[in-house]
Amino acid sequence: MNPSKGPAPAAFSESETEPRVLQPRGWPTPKGYANGMSADGRLVVTGGVIGWDIYGHLAPDFVAQVRQTLRNIAAILAEGDARPEHLVRLTWYVVNMDEYLANLKVLGQVYREIFGAHYPAMALVQVVRLVEKEAKVEIEATAVVPR
């Protein structure tokens, strides 16, 4: 890493009650995720959430499943009095990494449409399959609601 690449982003937000991005000085700034997050408050977590609708139906394509999965996470967060900007971690499980990588641009648009420009720490893991055979993506979320 090159410490002379410019100033590192602040380790704290303007509001000490909101989650803060942890960006070590000199590290390249990640695009679409954070290296780490810090927050104080009440924890809200989801289980593995997939993209089915209220009738238990899954869309046949990957992007539509991601869109519905993110909407489902937003609905769960709302039940816990949390919002997308309270997210500190997302763990994505995908059945086909190539499908994910082939759709990065549209996935970014879908993400911002639902969660805005807040990018928590994220991990992406390819798995052999998910419990629901037709599911192409499953996401776990962790949020911290300020006190």
**Domains within the chain, CATH numbers bracketed:** 17-145 (3.30.1330.40)
Specify the length of the chain in residues: 147
Question: Tokens 């039940």 sit at which residue?
Answer: 79
pLDDT of residue 16: 57
Higher pLDDT, 105 or 4: 105
pLDDT in tens, 24-42: 999 999 888 988 988 899 9
pLDDT at 135 exceeding the cut of 90: yes
Interatomic CA distance for residues 30 and 12, integer angstroms: 17
Interatomic CA distance for residues 125 and 97, integer angstroms: 8
Q: How far is CA 7 from CA 2, 11, 103, in A?
A: 11, 12, 31
pLDDT in tens, 96-133: 999 999 999 999 999 999 999 999 999 999 999 999 99
Interatomic CA distance for residues 33 and 104, integer angstroms: 13
Interatomic CA distance for residues 147 and 131, integer angstroms: 36
Confidence of residue 3 (pLDDT cuts 50, 70, 90): very low
